[in-house]
Amino acid sequence: MMEVVYSSISKDEKVYTTVTLHEDVDIHGGNVEVGCWVPNSDSRAACAKNTKSEAIRLLKLALAELDS
C-alpha cells in the first residue's frame, strides 16, 4: 500500500510531501517513509507523480549507500 500526504508547508513554489509505503510481510509488516520537496501544482495528480518520482530517486540513493 502506498499513501501520499501533502503538507500545508510550501516554500519557493514547492510543497513538502510524504510517501508512506506499508508492506504486510508477516503479522508485523513494515513501513518506509520518504519526505521530499516537489514543485507545487494545482493538480493533485501532477503533484503525486512528482512525489513518486522524487521518492524513487531518494530511495535509490539510500539503497546505494546501504549497499556500500
Per-residue model confidence (pLDDT) at position 43: 86
Q: What is the mean pLDDT of the segment spanning 43-58?
A: 90
When pLDDT is cut at 50, 70 and 90, the band that residue 62 belongs to is very high
> Tens digits of per-residue pLDDT, 7-47?
777 888 898 888 888 777 677 778 888 999 999 888 888 98
Q: How far apart are CA 62 and CA 68, in angstroms?
A: 10
19 within 8 A of 38, measured Cβ to Cβ = no
Rounded alpha-carbon distances, angstroms, from residue 27 to 23, 24, 42: 10, 7, 39
Per-residue model confidence (pLDDT) at position 18: 87
Q: How far apart are CA 44 and CA 4, in angstroms?
A: 10
